[in-house]
Structure 1
Amino acid sequence: MRLSSATMLALPLLAAAAEGPFEQYKAKFQNFLGSFGAKAPIAETNQVPIVNTGKKPKKVTEPKKVETLTLAGWNDSLFTSIKPESTKPEEWLVLISGRNNTCFGHCDKVEAAWKDASFKFAQLPSSPNLGYINCDDEPVLCNSWSASTGVFWAIDVLPPPAQTDILVKRLNLTTVTGQDIVDAYATRSADTWRKIDNDGWFHPIHGKFATWGVAVPLGYFFWALNVIPSWVMMVGVSFLSRSMM
């Protein structure tokens, strides 16, 4: 049987038409199998299941210890760990704060920032010792140092008779944050902090009042002036003036 040329040309077209639907369904079936395999991953046999024990995770860090300085013990707190042969100063950062009597309630923000800074200092590989003075609780100490509230003292302690340098800085009490305190201490210098004159009157270690031994009595005197009502002072002045006449 002989096929015409037209018939020979039509055979591939018929074959393609016959294979078309089959190939279409075959491709869909393969895609279906592929998507099924992607949605059902094989579980790893060595995977350790996570068990919820109900315990809270431990804190990564604790706040750095803050030493409360007092009139009776501030000197020991600063110098106890200093060895006589030390040549590198031991760094302290002290917050001078207060409540209603000395800071008039304006130190709440800086106290919150100070607490946050103690956590940040604890995370640093090298950070200063932290100290705290509340002038409501230690009015004589603050007056003997002539220290105002809401300021920071950066103290570089060296064994006597070496000079102990003190830098003072006040931050914005309404906007201060813990990071502000850390940054201020990290960039401290005589240009950005005020240096207390070592030979001045009120330096707590080398000042004239301290070396003469009258810093604490003066602290009591200035504290008494603040405590005694003004009308009592006026009566006293009036009495003295009349007695001298």
Structure 2
Amino acid sequence: MRVSSALLVALPALALAEDQVPLVDKVKGWFNQAQSYVSTAIPAAATPVEAAASKVAEKAVANLTLENWRQTINSSASAAAAGPQEWMIYVTGGNKTCFGLCGNTTEAWNKSVPVLAAAPKSPNLGVIDCEIDNILCNTWAASPPSIVHIQIPAPLPDQSAPAPAVRFIPLNRVNTTALNITQLHTEKKFEQTEPYEGIFHPFNGLLVQFGVEVPVAYAFWAFSKMPSWLPMVAISMISRNFMSRRAQPAARPAGAAPAAQ
């Protein structure tokens, strides 16, 4: 009875570990390997989980901020000589920046992380929380929930660095699943989104070239904090001042005769 119970525990673990093997080979493999799971059924069942946790630990999700994102991304690129580096960055928020509607996409992202970390040529993973680091989101013009997909090309023979390809991929707040996110990498569905080449490009956009991306981001942040009634009041005061000036009679030159009545 104990052996049968151990086998029942072992077989699902083997099925998960060999999901890429044809069915006939699976069946043969299960019974050939079942003996090794009998005496240590419980530890063996926990092994895939421990392996996945170890893999995720190796591929940690970087918490990107305004202060560290350049160093974090650039260090990963310089450390890889084999080829281009891929980043998948989840942009999330809270009640103010995502209207409290990022819960589903955050759950889908969390479920996709172990799959992405275990995938062949797995991408680097990162998170930006616009509720905490709104200025960074404004410098990128990134809105939650979304995935920022970055491809950093390998250096050219002359050691010059080509411009990274950046894609802003919005996520449906209701229907996004972990499969939708993982397919961006595993099936290269990120290629369905055209690379962004506008002024908010994080690496070589016009604002970056002039070094004003952070001041502009603060200006957007200040505007977002402005009460909705304040612009209307300012416009009303300016228009009244303009109309009152136009209504005033023109000044009469010195020595000129008064106008005839």
Q: Is the TM-score greater than 0.5?
A: yes
Aligned equivalents of 1:67 and 1:148: distance in 2? 18
Aligned equivalents of 1:69 and 1:231: distance in 2? 34
Task: Please point out which of 103, 114, 137 is paired with 2:109.
Answer: 114
Aligned equivalents of 2:164 and 2:69: distance in 1? 14
Displacement, 1:243?
5.4
Task: Please point out which of 226, 230, 233 is paired with 2:224.
Answer: 226
What is residue 144 of structure 1 aligned with on the other side?
Answer: 139
Q: Which has the higher helix share?
A: 2
Q: What CA deviation, in whole Å up to 9, does each residue of 1:40-95 have, x standing for no partner?
A: xxxxxxx99847999x9452311341111111111111101332995722110011
Matched, 1:80 2:75: yes
Residue 211 of structure 1 aligns with an amino acid whose one-letter code is Q
Aligned equivalents of 1:48 and 1:74: distance in 2? 45
Task: Please list, as runs of the form range in 1=range in 2, the aligned pairs for 1:72-221 lying within 5 A after superposition.
Answer: 72-83=67-78, 86=81, 88-158=83-153, 161-188=161-188, 192-197=192-197, 200-221=198-219
Aligned equivalents of 1:212 and 1:48: distance in 2? 63
Aligned equivalents of 1:183 and 1:213: distance in 2? 35
* Structure of higher RCO (CA pairs closer than 8 Å, 6+ residues apart): 1
Displacement, 1:242?
5.0
Q: Retained in 2: the 8 A contact 1:120–1:178? A: no
Residue 145 of structure 1 aligns with an amino acid whose one-letter code is W
Q: Retained in 2: the 8 A contact 1:65–1:118? A: no
C-alpha change, 1:221 and 1:196, in structure 2 (3 Å) is: same
- Paired residues, number: 197
Structure 1 residues without counterparts, runs of 5 or longer: 1-46
SS in structure 1 of the partner of residue 151 of structure 2: strand
What is residue 29 of structure 2 aligned with on the other side?
Answer: none
Q: Retained in 2: the 8 A contact 1:169–1:194? A: no
C-alpha change, 1:65 and 1:190, in structure 2 (3 Å) is: closer
Aligned equivalents of 1:52 and 1:127: distance in 2? 31
Identity of aligned residues (%): 31
SS in structure 1 of the partner of residue 76 of structure 2: coil
Aligned equivalents of 2:99 and 2:135: distance in 1? 18
Displacement, 1:230?
1.5
What is residue 61 of structure 1 aligned with on the other side?
Answer: 52
Residue 52 of structure 2 aligns with an amino acid whose one-letter code is T
Structure index of larger Rg:
1
C-alpha change, 1:167 and 1:188, in structure 2 (3 Å) is: farther
SS in structure 1 of the partner of residue 166 of structure 2: strand
- Please give the TM-score of this superposition, normalised by the length of structure 1: 0.70
Structure 2 residues without counterparts, runs of 5 or longer: 1-35, 246-261
Displacement, 1:108?
0.5
